[in-house]
Amino acid sequence: MPSKRRLRWVALPLGVATAVALAGCTATELNGYLPGFVEGEPAVTNQTERVSSLWVNSWIVLLAVGVITWALMAWAAIAYRRRKGQSGLPVQMRYNMPIEIFYTIVPLILVLGMFFFTARDQAAIETKWDDPDVEITAIAKQWAWDFQYDGEQEDNSDAVWTMGIQAQPDAAGNIDQDQLPTLVLPVDQKVTINLQSRDVIHSFWIIDFLYKKDMYIGKDNSWSFIPTRVGEYAGKCAELCGEYHSMMLFNVKVVEQDEYDAYLQSLEEEGNTGDITDAYDRLSNLPGTTGQNDSEEGEE
C-alpha cells in the first residue's frame, strides 16, 4: 500500500498538469465545443452558459463512469483470464447482495441526478417574461419565415413585419445570404419570441443560442431570453418539414437599441404594418372547425 506522502507526490503533478491544461483552453473548449462562444466576449444570451454547463458537466460524469467501467472490464479480463493448464468454467458468482445493491443504486442516483439538473435548467430557460421589453412573433411556413414585431395596441394594428422567402442557391449551391429572412433583436433587452406555424410542424433554431423549440398549428410556443452580444447568427428549421426543409434558413442580427428602433421605423415607412399571424395560414382544419363547417353545409 503506497504511503500518503507518495500519493501526494503523484497527485501534485497531476493537479498542476490539469490546471495548466484548463488554463490553456479556449472559450469553445471550456464550453464543450458548442457554438456561440468567443474568447473575451460575453455569451450570446443569458441562457447559453447554463446550457453549456449542463452539457459539459453531463459529459464529465459520463466520462468518469466510462473510465471506471472500462477499468473494471480490463481488470476482470486480466485477473480472471484462463491460465495455462486450466479447463472448464471458472467459479460462478451469484447472489452477491452488496454488488447487486451497488449496481442498482448507483445508476439510479446518476439518472435521478441528471434528471434533476436537466429539469432545473429547463424550467429556468422556459420561464416567460411577465413584461418583456420586446415581443416578436416568428411564423414558420414551407419553407421560410415571417417575423412580426408586435405593437402595443390591443388589436396589434401597430405591429410591423417582414415576410421571407426560402433560401436561393446559385448553380454552385451557394446561398445568397442577403435574401434570407432576417430577425433583428435589441441587445441586453428582455425578448419574448412567440412561435407559430402556418402549416406543418417546424422547429425554430438559432444555432449559437443553443436552444430550439417546435412550432405547429394548435399550440403556440414561446421562448424568453436576453441577447447579450451584438453580432450576426444563423438560424434554421430543425424539424423535417418537406421537400425544401434544408432551404428554410434565416439570419439573426443582434443590434444596439437605436439601430433596432430605426429598423422598426423603416418597416413602418414601407407600409409593413398590422397583424399577419392568421392572415396567411395555409390550413383551416383546426380542432373543432371541421365538424362545424360540415354541419353548416348540411343546414344549407
Residues 160-176: tens digit of each pLDDT: 999 999 998 888 888 88
Report yes or no on 296 lying in a domain.
no
Q: Model confidence at 19, in pLDDT bands (50, 70, 90)?
A: low
186 assigned to some structural domain: yes
Give the chain's domain count.
2
If asked whether residues 72 and 154 sit together in one domain, one would say no
Q: Give the predicted TM-score (pTM) of the model.
A: 0.77
Percent of the chain with pLDDT over 70: 86
How high is the pLDDT of residue 173?
A: 83
Q: Does 142 lie in the same domain as 265?
A: yes
Same domain, 139 and 248: yes
Residues 185, 202 share a domain: yes
Output the pLDDT for position 12.
62
Position 1 scores a pLDDT of: 47
Instruction: List, for residues 103-141, the tens digit of each pLDDT value.
Output: 899 999 999 999 999 999 999 999 998 899 999 999 999
Here the cell at position 165 is 422567402
Q: 145, 280 in Cβ contact below 8 A? A: no
Query: Is residue 87 assigned to a domain?
Result: no
Measured distance CA(61)–CA(92) in Å, rounded: 31
**Cα-to-chain-centroid distance, residue 3:** 48
pLDDT of residue 300: 43
Q: Please, which residues have CB within 8 angstroms of residue 46's CB and are 6 or more apart in sequence?
A: 225, 226, 228
Q: Which domain holds residue 192?
A: 134-269
Residues 104 and 158 in one domain: no
Task: Establish if 52 belongs to a structural domain.
Answer: yes
pLDDT tens digits, 44-74: 999 999 999 999 999 999 999 999 999 999 9
Q: What percent of the chain has pLDDT over 90?
A: 54
The pLDDT of residue 16: 57
The 3-class secondary structure across 9-69, one letter per residue, is HHHHHHHHHHHHHHHCCCHHHHCCCCCCCCCCCCCCECCHHHHHHHHHHHHHHHHHHHHHH
Whether 160 and 72 map to the same domain: the answer is no
For the chain, the average pLDDT equals 85
**CATH assignment of the domain containing 259:** 2.60.40.420
